Structure 1
Amino acid sequence: MKTLVLDNPTVFTFQEKEEPTSLQADEALVKIKKIGICGTDYHAFRGKQPFFSYPRVLGHELGAEVVGLGSDTDAIHVGDRVTIEPYLNCGTCQSCLNDKGNCCENLQVLGVHVDGGMTEYLKVPIRKLHPSKILSFEQLALVEPLSIGAHAVQRAEVNPKDLVLVIGAGPIGLSVMQFAKLRGATVVVLDINKERLNFAKEQMQVDFILEAKEGFTPDALRSCLDGFLPTVVFDATGNPNSMKNAFNYVAFGGKLVFVGLFIGEASFDDPLFHRRETTLLASRNSLPQDFSSIIQLMESGKIDIKPWVTHSADFEALPHVFKEWLDPKSKVIKAVVTL
């Protein structure tokens, strides 16, 4: 089977590998149909992805068809269209036993810690498959990035009274906006990229957009929120300076949620942190129930990801277009690959 391997930063090669044959009772064989390209993939290509080693088969945003099962199950059948939950948790550590498999102590993520879906066939645990009789393979490939935002908004317990600031209008920021809006919150978006801000306004129907120019201050937020500051701030940039500045934007008694991450230490002014009694949260990956609820929302038409997919390519062309998608001039929101 044809497999695309990232041998080293910036170096993709196609390799022929044997198709998986033997399946354990708890395993399924899926044929990959669509792959969403994530910031993680871009970072890995550049050689800047944390917790990463080469060579690696990328790909964790997946729409696939079930072609084999290790045992019969009422939930999954051969021929089902599925999305794949790429977080392979151990099931036995303290976090897993407390139903927090997203932060498993021994977590292995497809396409990051172990080989992922840039291949024709993939063997995965049956329990990591989420089916839909309605959604297309492309829609199913976008469930995982949506789940990141869904989990972050759930962590913050966003409600209709909240004034929400999302810093960073990339795909993860967009997913946070999506679910904050679904909960009825007022949503403000802050970014340096005008095109992405306009996309958030036009397609996500956020309430306010603000360009993060040099010298940006909390007063700009107050000006569009009737003198108030956001009760919940999500930083989806993974930029250390942005994450540090985010503490200044939180209302007294508010919450700050770090969705993005970077390798290093984050510092903040402790008196400000205490005076505002800020709640600081990290949000990592997502949970099985996030996948299930997103599929239901997409099936009912409450979430439409069509505007997100701005670029596409066939599998064979991916090594050639990948560098183009990295160029800001390409204006990629979300790229999807077809096998």
Structure 2
Amino acid sequence: MTSPKKIMIIAEHMKNELSPVSKELIACAKAIGKHILISLNTILIGENIDKAAKTLSQNGTQVTTIESEDLKSEPKISLLEIVGKILEPYIRNECPDIIIAGHTSFGLSFLPQLAIHLDASCITGVSKITKCEEKLIYTRLICNGKFETQVKPEKKITAITVLPGAFSSQTTAKTKLEKQIHIKANNVIKGPVILDRITQPAVSDSSFDNADVIVAAGQGIGQADNLDTIRSFSEIFQCSTIAGSRPLIDMGWLPYHYQVGITGKTVAPKMYIACGISGSSQHVAGMSGSEYIVAINSDPNAAIFNISDLCIVEDLLFFIHKVKKH
């Protein structure tokens, strides 16, 4: 009988609340399980994480919690040090075949380096998994989301980051919490980046939660002054608000709390209108759960059209002017 492939998930949590992407990572592992026989173990790292661990255990996975008193010390040890002193030795002992983390700021901050240490194949931004000639094939987007590439890993261990929204999360039968491991990271060598604390932005905007329609602006709007046009366009719809892609936020055209995407907010309104947004995987991950997606772009090959229900190829400002006129 073929031995199951060992899959290890590195889950995410904030203030003892499980992050939505963690359930999607489990869904990804179960998608792999449709192709090969697997055994699944999900790891939580932190302190006071019983609630998050209990939530995980209700999703059909064994859960291992790794806590360290050193996480409470000052200054806080950096995330890379956590990988080097806590996570990596445990992974070496468990010898997983596949390691899964989210394609988020958390997952990307440690998984590539961990893959180097483990001599593992590292594939980021995975959106689909198939099988060909008894080998798993991982699909990821390239060229700003315009093309897909299929990757076949060659190393013994495969480490992947999964694009948020790529795998639909499903709650399964409860599974007993089988392991709880306590590890101390002593004599830690401080790295160049020290994590002191994680805080919520001082300014927040809850309008995303209440909006039925989100009108999002990208670089295609041309200049910051055209945000007034986007705002007036959004006012056509009841219960609406505006949002922005990361380039707009990086240029300072909108505050950070308006950002949608991997490093911003994840939204799922009744309708999402993407104005001048190219459709990078980082942005799509934050809005692909929307019920209906409208994309307005002058580029007929824009990647955003691949996930849109209604595709409008037109000059953005001209189109908005015509809509408002009628």
TM-score above 0.5: no
Instruction: Output the TM-score relative to the length of structure 2.
Output: 0.30
Q: Rg larger in 1 or in 2? A: 2
